[in-house]
Amino acid sequence: MWFLISHLVTVCFIFCLAEDGKGYGPVFEEQPIYTIYPEESTDGQVSMNCRARAIPFPTYKWKLNDWDIDLTKDRYSIVGGRLLINNPEKSKDAGKYVCIASNIFGTVRSAEATLSFGYLDTFPPEERYEVKVREGIGAVLLCQPPYHYPDDLSYRWLLNEFPVFITLDKRRFVSQTNGNLYIANVEASDRGNYSCFVSSPSITKSVFSKFIPLIPQVVDRSKVYPADIKVKFKDTYALLGQNVTLECFALGNPVPEIRWNKPLEPMPATAEISMSGAVLKILNIQFEDEGVYECEAENYKGKDKHQATVYVQAYPEWVEHINDTERDIGSDLDWPCVATGKPTPAIRWLKNGVSFRRGELRIQSLTVEDAGMYQCIAENKHGIIYANAELKVVASPPNFELNPMKKKFLAAKGGRVIIECKPKAAPKAKFSWSKGTELLVNGSRISIWDDGSLEIVNITKLDQGSYTCFAENNRGKANSTGTLEITEATKITLAPTNVDVTVGENATMQCIASYDTTLDLTFIWSLNGYMIDFEKEHDHYERRVMIKNNGEMLIKNVQLQHAGRYTCTAQTIVDNSSASADLVVRGPPGPPGGLRIEDIKDTSVTLTWSRGTDNHSPISKYTIQSKTFLSEEWKDAKTDPPNIEGNMETAKVIDLIPWMEYEFRITAMNTLGTGEPSMPSQRIRTEGAAPNVAPSDVGGGGGSNRELTITWMPLSREYHFGKNFGYIVAFKPFGEKEWRRVTVTNPDIGRYVHKDDSLPPSTKFQVKVKAFNNKGDGPFSLVAIIYSAQDAPSEKPRNVNVKILSSSEISVSWEHVFEQSVEGYQIRYWTVHDKEAAAQRVLVSNQDYSTKLENLKPSTRYHVDVSAYNSAGYGPPSAAVDIITRKAPPSQRPRIISTVRSGSRYIITWDHVTPMSNESAVQGYKVLYRPDGQHEGTLYSTGTHSIELPVPRDGEYIVEVRAHSEGGDGEVAQIKISEHGVKLCLFISLCLSVSPIFVYLGYRLP
């Protein structure tokens, strides 16, 4: 009995709150999210957020792996709805959490949120084995990351020490899938110690492995070998909208070129290629991006391919979800809840947090017990989404308080009126109407709708009067009354007429109407059903209002887009009347359509298209334009026939560049002008052909001993004419018959060095270069005359003399080396504590026999030598000269003790500077007198401790005083003087005003 009474009281309370609209069930504002707690964290606490709004306020409880959490334990606390876990432990706290919020209206469950414990172990302490690889052979250094969670690691490699990371380029690649370092072919410069550096952004921790020694083994001539793909992407499942990264890298010598494509389909527009081609990233992937992707690696020795499939699936997403709903008691509920996803999501329902049913939700003959909080859940293997809504079931007698009938209705003669009757009632009310005391029934002119509205058509003056709506259900009845008044009908009396104009002209559309003068009349114009905004489109549309019933419109500077059907609508608050007319605009043709490319050859293609609109003036001719991928500029193309008549729909484009990517577009013309171009064609590549242009600027010479250096200007991409492009270099000693030929396969290189230990220096050679591709060879360049490298100088510079200038400067001089090949001299200097290999170097021309070395250390012994050099290298150095730089200049600033003005002069006095034991003795003082803001001035030297300077007449002057010694000039003391007084400069940029007669009392400048 008590249970029944409490249930009735609760139902009554809910029903009352629902009636006044003040109460509602829980609505989540914040739900728990996937959380990773670092196992090594010192926080000692993790929180799972949950917050819902509701009236009355909700209560909360939490579940872990479908078990209720005992919130009375000290390890847990709850603040609002947020769950705090103290000293979390993986064995006890890892799992799926759900927050449950409840009040008297119902219960809702939050989305599930997983709490995981993240970790990144250290690498094993064992030393890594050294890796020996012959130069020119590829290498793979294994990272073998330690145990970790989660998997979102990033990888870099250290070289020799932290934090020196290797620079990735076309030859070196670090896979972000397994962390391995791949080197396409090893060079001598790769020698060093390598360590895999692993970072986990989720737990902000990084570790690195023991160093792996990489030892390139020198060979006489590195072997070339074809591309061999070692980094292969696997079949990949991606979610719609994600960014997908595919990796592909190949070993090979020379370094392979990597290309990506999607066989038989265009690459996605959002595809980005980076890391010198090794990484393909597809941004915001869509279903149409699904398919097979191919990576191709190629060098001139061979190619390798790899294919894998990218599958695009989708997280559940709502197409139609439930919303808060209020329904009458006894009515039926059909609640649509539709989600899309891949695989297709399954739909299930919760009511007040408890499993309810699956699939569609239909409830017949609603009762109060059906009210509550409902959750529609869509789920597939990628995730789960929730839609929450409250169902309120209401019951009440008809009531017009919130929505009474209007007191007055207006309707036009001959027109139609609908008088609404919408009381609040549950269950739905039944309706009847009366006019005055006459009960109305459905007839030819009068209809009572199911929703209670009254419709009257073909209205006459006799319909004017008082109307009452009666509403009744099983809980009571009510009525509401309003008055209908009849007005004169609105009619168009002068309708707009059809107009025919040319682009740029003006057009007038007339429109005059009659109407009930007790009402306001408005004219609305529309074009093809879209209303014209006269404010936004004032440049072309203007109202020409002269009298109230005239809605004439002026269309200024008519353009093609203004053509169409114009409708004038004369409107009052009661009725409206419309009339229409057509505006025909003659102008340049529209863009051609359906542009297709056929019969692609090396220097020509055939285009076909369909005619665009002629805009009421016949098309007279077409122009074809082309654009290559090397330029963004559209240029007129040469065609066959040269003039494309207006009745043609095909033409050949000639004089194209072989093996070039092109786009085309077509423009039509008539007597009124040139139209807009067509959409660009798809990009195509012309067939290849043998090169027909020879490299220019062939020359060379110089280089190292026993070398012949040949150079040329590489041909730009547009002259490659085909794939596998390269150069054939031919050379021979001057006067000989046989040419020696070598192949250079890198199209971007314009240099070849021939090494021959038997090659005499400065030998005269004839050289020429030509281009080749897979279609054949091009013409040779003109023959150029060059010389092999000269020998490095063999003579040492003599009589090297070093003069000490200060503590940081010395002057070095020597006698000229009498060899014609000398291009300059190298001066090396290093301290007695440094190795000779660490010497600093200065280069001067062969016209110089001396130079000054600066920024040396004070009181330091240096070795200095000189050697001659040319393009072949450096000659033997002279005997090293040992010198010791002078002591450093005094570090103490002069202390200015007084500044006294005497007539037109200032007398400035300072204390003697006493040097420290490791500093040079003071030989005197230098005083620089310069205008403030300038660096140049008058320099005075004095052996005393004072100086007289003229009083400035044109602004402020800076006085700088410093001690002078054989080690150089010491630190500066400054004052600022002017006609108005003296400023003492405590620092170089901070000067304080003092008396014109200034005597120092005790302050020492820093």
pLDDT tens per residue, range 517-532 = 999 999 999 999 999 9
Q: In terms of Cα–Cα distance, which of 830, 868, 864 is closest to 849?
A: 868
pLDDT confidence of residue 220: 64
Does the pLDDT value for residue 425 go beyond 70? yes
10 versus 682: which is more confidently predicted?
Answer: 682
Half-sphere exposure of 397 (CA within 13 A, CB side): 8
How far is residue 452's CA from residue 432's CA, in Å, rounded to a whole number? Answer: 8
The verdict on domain 491-586 having CATH code 3.20.20.70 is no
Q: What is the mean pLDDT of residues 937-941?
A: 91
How do the domains of the chain map onto residue ranges? Answer: 22-118, 124-223, 228-318, 321-394, 396-477, 491-586, 593-686, 696-788, 798-884
- To which residue do tokens 């992707």 refer? 293
For the stretch 610-615, contacts whose Cβ atoms lie closer than 8 Å and that sit 24 or more positions apart, written own/partner, are 610/649, 611/649, 611/668, 612/668, 612/675, 612/678, 613/589, 614/589, 614/590, 614/668, 614/670, 615/560, 615/585, 615/586, 615/587, 615/588, 615/589, 615/590, 615/670, 615/672, 615/675
Arch. (CATH architecture) of 593-686? Sandwich (2.60)
68 versus 629: which is more confidently predicted?
Answer: 68
pLDDT tens per residue, range 309-332 = 999 999 999 999 999 999 999 899
Does the pLDDT value for residue 998 go beyond 70? no
Does the pLDDT value for residue 15 go beyond 80? no
Does the pLDDT value for residue 1004 go beyond 70? no
Please give the class, per CATH, of domain 124-223. mainly beta
How far is residue 312's CA from residue 284's CA, in Å, rounded to a whole number? Answer: 11
pLDDT tens per residue, range 849-885 = 999 999 999 999 999 999 999 877 889 999 999 999 9
Q: Name the CATH topology of 22-118.
A: Immunoglobulin-like (2.60.40)
Instruction: Read off the pLDDT band of 902 (50, 70, 90).
Output: confident
Q: What is the mean pLDDT of residues 682-698?
A: 94
Give the pairing type, strands 113-120 and 35-38.
Answer: parallel
pLDDT tens per residue, range 654-686 = 999 999 999 999 999 999 999 999 999 999 999
pLDDT tens per residue, range 64-99 = 999 999 988 889 999 999 999 999 999 999 999 999
How far is residue 137's CA from residue 486's CA, in Å, rounded to a whole number? Answer: 98
How far is residue 525's CA from residue 566's CA, in Å, rounded to a whole number? Answer: 7
Q: What CATH number was assigned to the domain covering residues 798-884?
A: 2.60.40.10
Does the pLDDT value for residue 836 go beyond 70? yes
Q: Which amino acid is at 869?
A: Y
Instruction: Read off the pLDDT band of 904 (50, 70, 90).
Output: confident
Domain 228-318 CATH superfamily: Immunoglobulins (2.60.40.10)
pLDDT, mean over the chain: 91
- To which residue do tokens 């009525």 refer? 479
Does the pLDDT value for residue 908 go beyond 50? yes
pLDDT tens per residue, range 492-504 = 999 999 999 999 9
pLDDT confidence of residue 985: 63
Structure tokens at 982: 């003296």
pLDDT tens per residue, range 734-755 = 989 999 999 998 898 999 999 8
Contact yes or no for 577/513 (Cβ under 8 A): yes
How far is residue 512's CA from residue 568's CA, in Å, rounded to a whole number? Answer: 9
pLDDT tens per residue, range 548-596 = 899 999 999 999 999 999 999 999 999 999 999 999 999 999 999 999 9
pLDDT cut 90: percent of the chain above it: 78
94-103, 161-170, 288-297, 528-537: the lowest-pLDDT one:
161-170
pLDDT confidence of residue 1: 41
Q: What CATH number was assigned to the domain covering residues 696-788?
A: 2.60.40.10
pLDDT cut 70: percent of the chain above it: 95
Q: What is the mean pLDDT of residues 981-1000?
A: 53
570-574, 700-704, 774-778, 846-850: the lowest-pLDDT one:
700-704
Arch. (CATH architecture) of 396-477? Sandwich (2.60)
Does the pLDDT value for residue 17 go beyond 60? no
Contact yes or no for 479/447 (Cβ under 8 A): no
> What DSSP assignment string belongs to 739-781?
PEEEEE--TT--EEEEE-TTPPTT-EEEEEEEEEETTEE-PPP
Name every residue whose Cβ is closer than 8 Å to that of residue 764 and which is 6 or more positions away in sequence: 733, 734, 785, 786, 787
Q: What is the mean pLDDT of residues 524-543?
A: 95
> What DSSP assignment string belongs to 59-87?
EEEEEETTEE--TTSTTEEEETTEEEEES
pLDDT tens per residue, range 955-972 = 889 999 999 998 888 999
Half-sphere exposure of 501 (CA within 13 A, CB side): 23
Q: Name the CATH topology of 321-394.
A: Immunoglobulin-like (2.60.40)
